[in-house]
């Protein structure tokens, strides 16, 4: 690959590319060999910043429901173990869960990789990288791609170890515990959502666990939830909380089930939106406004951070709280 071809794989702080054939005019550029090379480059980069031998690194790998995920995950594992890194296979996971593998007591891996392309079409895929400091920035991705382009990786005499864990269940338990402690319900501590009906729409991505492993243990009725099973062909709708069809689908499900709330996720569960009992969207400005009102009531003087997508009206609303 040329330097330009390597650079084209960078999408800000992520790696993104075409992983499957099937769309006219879109040639595959995120191949198994390419992903294996990038994984090795991440291992070398991580060893340098951690000042650790490759053989002492432990790196977690997870993926969403995309059709190309198993193949690319295998390429990541082959690349990392080839240079001596130890790998922990988390299988189907969310992007937030993969970051948590680096900071959760008892795990605290040196780094992690999430195989995902967020809400992009089925033929796309990519890689997100994490350390205990958070997600890698644009400059760090550039450095990794530079290492990948140069090649010349060390080949370990002893391959790194591979273990498998069900980290999404660990992550779900963390969420359940946080919610229980935060709500601290005087009568129903274990089930603070008792009496609430909440619909989950996972868009056939990795977020189906949220209904069975988070909301149900908290006492919520999740009957009527939809598209919970992982399916990278995304038969229900585009897994994007900002897509009109997707939002119409979750709104309809809430009204049909007479639910109190609906929650919809993108493929790797790092984006979400909600609808109220009337099927009205609570997203973007409304969602941040709602959270801000709750936070500032409970913690006056807190700082609220927004981004360029939000409106000036939101800022005015928050400043008046």
Q: Domain ranges for the chain, please list them.
A: 3-165, 170-283
Q: How far apart are CA 191 and CA 184, in angstroms?
A: 10
Q: How far apart are CA 12 and CA 146, in angstroms?
A: 15
Q: What mean pLDDT do residues 138-155 have?
A: 95
CB atoms within 10 A of CB 221: 18
Q: Which contiguous run of DSSP H or E holds residue 182?
A: helix 167-183
pLDDT at 155: 85
Architecture of the domain delimited by 170-283: 3-Layer(aba) Sandwich (3.40)
Q: How far apart are CA 201 and CA 259, in angstroms?
A: 13
Residue (of 124, 134, 150, 149) closest to 15 by Cα position: 124
| CATH C-level class of 3-165 | alpha beta
Q: How far apart are CA 15 and CA 11, in angstroms?
A: 6
Q: What mean pLDDT do residues 257-268 have?
A: 98
Average pLDDT, the chain: 96
Q: Spell out a b/e string for 67-93, using b for 16 or more CB atoms within 10 Å of the CB, else e.
A: bbbebbbebbbbbbbbbbbbbbbbbbb
Query: Residues 70-79: pLDDT tens digits?
Result: 999 999 999 9
On the question of a common fold for 3-165 and 170-283, the answer reads: yes
Reply yes or no on whether the pLDDT at 45 is more than 80. yes
Query: Residues 267-314: pLDDT tens digits?
Result: 999 999 999 999 999 977 888 999 999 999 999 999 998 877 778 889
Q: What mean pLDDT do residues 193-199 have?
A: 98
Residue 176 to residues 119, 220, 274, 283: CA-CA distances in angstroms? Answer: 26, 12, 19, 23
**Token pair for residue 10?**
């960078």
pLDDT at 307: 79
For the question of whether the overall pTM of this predicted structure is more than 0.85, the answer is yes
Reply yes or no on whether the pLDDT at 54 is more than 90. yes
Q: Which contiguous run of DSSP H or E holds residue 276?
A: strand 272-276
pLDDT at 23: 92
């Amino acid at each position: 690959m040329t330097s330009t071809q390597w650079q084209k794989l960078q999408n800000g702080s992520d790696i993104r590319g075409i992983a499957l054939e099937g769309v006219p005019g879109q040639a595959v550029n995120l191949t198994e060999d390419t992903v294996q090379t990038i994984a090795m480059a991440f291992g070398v980069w991580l060893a340098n910043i951690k000042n650790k031998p490759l053989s002492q690194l432990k790196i977690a790998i997870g993926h969403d429901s995309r059709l190309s995920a198993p193949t690319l995950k295998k390429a990541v594992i082959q690349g990392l173990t080839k240079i001596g890194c130890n790998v922990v296979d988390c299988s189907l996971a969310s992007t937030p869960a993969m970051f948590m593998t680096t900071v959760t007591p008892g795990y605290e891996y040196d780094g992690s990789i999430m195989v995902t392309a967020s809400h992009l079409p089925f033929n796309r895929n990519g890689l997100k990288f994490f350390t205990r400091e958070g997600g890698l920035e644009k400059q760090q991705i550039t450095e990794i791609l530079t290492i990948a382009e140069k090649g010349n990786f060390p080949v370990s005499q002893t391959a790194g170890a591979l273990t498998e864990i069900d980290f999404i269940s660990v992550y779900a338990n963390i969420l359940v515990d946080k919610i229980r402690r935060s709500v601290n319900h005087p009568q129903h501590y274990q089930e603070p959502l008792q009496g609430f009906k909440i619909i989950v729409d996972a868009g056939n991505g990795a977020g189906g666990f949220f209904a069975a492993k988070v909301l149900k243990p908290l006492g919520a009725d999740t009957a009527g939830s939809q598209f919970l099973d992982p399916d990278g062909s995304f038969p229900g709708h585009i897994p994007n909380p900002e897509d009109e069809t997707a939002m119409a689908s979750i709104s309809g499900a809430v009204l049909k089930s007479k639910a109190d709330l609906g929650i919809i996720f993108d493929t790797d569960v790092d984006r979400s939106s909600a609808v109220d009992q009337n099927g009205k969207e609570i997203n973007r400005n409304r969602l941040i406004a709602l959270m801000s009102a709750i936070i500032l009531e409970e913690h006056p003087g807190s700082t609220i951070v927004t981004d360029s997508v939000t409106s000036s009206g939101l800022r005015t609303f928050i400043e008046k709280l």
